[in-house]
Structure 1
Amino acid sequence: MLSIGEFSKICEVSTKTLRYYDEVGLIHPDEINPESGYRYYSIRQLKKMLLINRLKSYHFSLEEIKAILELEEDQSEEKLCSVLNRKRREIQEKLNAYERTLKQMSKDILNLEKGISVMSYLDNIEVQLVETQPMNILYMRQMMRSDDYAAGYGKYFGRLYEKIATEKLTLLGTPMTIYHSPEYNPAGNDTEFAIWVEETVKGTRDLPGGLCAKSVVKGSYSELTSVYAKLREWVEHEGYELVKSPYEVYVTDPNQATVPEDMVTEVYFPVKKK
């Protein structure tokens, strides 16, 4: 048996952390002296503690690690492989995001060294005044947290495409998202996922056409915030006002774009003259 201090030293985990792991049910001492309260761990628990350390290094939460440790032994290897693959994808997505951030930061530094404002890119965003036609849209409307947007796009558009296939509807346009919330709320935003179809069936509604301020984004969705700001500025400057919820039309399927720079998104602000 190993004292808590010996176990702590071998595994490079503080005794305070080991006591916390015991409290949350991650790993319990093999034996506790009823008189002294001293905690002892068995040699076989070293392997479990090392696995916990490794999973922590993979950025699993303690709750996730606990669930992994509770897997049935006959299925644990297969399920662990699946869990690791999912976590690897998550980490890769974060790495890609950091790479894009570094790339943008490098461009900003280069511009500043040339005496060019960091925000000068806003001047290159073009805005058009267009007349849109009415559309019959198949839709699903959900309250979406900001962290759920990426997964939500695939989930809800997938359901819409499934309905289109099942009911043999005629597809007339690419997916679009309409944002109905009057303000941004990380806890939940009123979001409508829609696709333009020909047939009027249960689950469709009319999206009126009309005058819109329009801008086209070529690149990552992270650029959309800047486009929204530019559109809002243009609307105010040109003497218009918003009359309906803004929406985005995804000209390029993000699943088909090999790099973010290939994605094309149209942003529409329905407006009228003041």
Structure 2
Amino acid sequence: MLTIGEFSKISRVSTKTLRYYDQIGLLKPGFVSKDSGYRYYEVSQLRDMLLITRLKRYRFSLPEISAVLATRDNSRLGELLQAKKEEFLLHINDQQHILLQMEQDIAKIERCENIMQADYLVKTVEMHPMTIFSHRKNMGLEDLDAAFAAMFAEMERKKINPSGPYLIIYHDEVFDHDNSDMEIAVQIAGGAGEHIRDLSPGFCCFATHIGPYDNLGECYAALSEWIEREGYVIAGPPFDLYVKDFSHGVSLSEYVTEVYFPIKK
């Protein structure tokens, strides 16, 4: 057996950390002397300690690691590692977008441009009424994927086919990232029934945003400035029309979103 000091030296983990792992039940010593209270570890426990260290590097929480050690199920561990891998890939993708945005901002500054100045061509249009299938409820942005999945599943059960792009209508005057009155919808050819209604925005101004959604606020700002400059007021809830997205097999930089504001003089 190994003393806690020997185990610490070989595993490169401090004795303070080992005592904490013992306290929380993550890695208990193989033997504790009743007389001295000294902790002793089995040599075989070095592999457990190496696994703990590796899983921590993979951003597993201590409770998650404890569950892995308790079950010793390699199939389950493989599933957990795959899930963590996907989390890392999403994080890397997000960081790459941030780096791209930083590079664009640096280039603007070098050209003596305002990094928050975005060039959007604002147009006006008389929107014809459209029939939509929609779900409206209070939710956060992180809930949208699940909400759309549930809506599309219901449409499939009812054999309702989309006839145009999907959209999100924002009914709250003040937007809350975590809890807002949002209506997710998709244009359909017609019909009647639960969750089916007509949308008649009327006269609108709109602008086209190209790229990821995290920069969509710039389009909203440009439209708001145009509305004030041209002497209009907002006459209804704004909405996003998703013209091109992942379902079209394009990259984030090629996403096309049209933002509409119903307006009046």
Letter in 1 for 2:252: P
Cα distance in structure 2, aligned partners of 1:160 and 1:202: 12
**Contact 2:128/2:200 (CA < 8 Å) preserved in 1?**
yes
Query: Aligned runs of 1:1-274 on 2, under 5 Å?
Result: 1-71=1-71, 73=72, 76-120=73-117, 122=118, 124-146=119-141, 148-149=142-143, 152-153=144-145, 155-197=146-188, 198-273=190-265
Deviations 1:213-244 (A, max 9, x none): 21111111122011111112222222222233
Identity across the alignment (%): 39
Distance 1:266 1:48, change over 3 A: same
Deviations 1:56-110 (A, max 9, x none): 1112222332333343x4xx22222222122112211211221222222122222
Shift of 1:114: 2.7
Cα distance in structure 1, aligned partners of 2:137 and 2:121: 31
**Contact 2:239/2:260 (CA < 8 Å) preserved in 1?**
yes
Instruction: Identify which range, 177-186 or 232-241, moves more after superposition.
Output: 177-186
**Contact 1:160/1:195 (CA < 8 Å) preserved in 2?**
no
Shift of 1:2: 2.4
1:216 counterpart SS class:
strand
Letter in 1 for 2:112: G
TM-score (structure 1 length as normaliser): 0.85
How many residue pairs match? The answer is 264
Shift of 1:200: 1.6
Distance 1:127 1:52, change over 3 A: same
1:26 counterpart SS class:
coil
Shift of 1:201: 1.8
Shift of 1:196: 1.8
Distance 1:168 1:117, change over 3 A: same
Shift of 1:269: 1.7
2:246 counterpart SS class:
coil
Instruction: Identify which range, 169-178 or 216-225, moves more after superposition.
Output: 169-178
Unaligned runs of 5+ residues in structure 2 are none
Shift of 1:260: 1.0
Shift of 1:165: 2.2
Deviations 1:104-127 (A, max 9, x none): 21222222223233223x2x1121
Deviations 1:10-36 (A, max 9, x none): 222223323333344322233333343
Deviations 1:119-150 (A, max 9, x none): 23x2x11211222222332222344344x25x
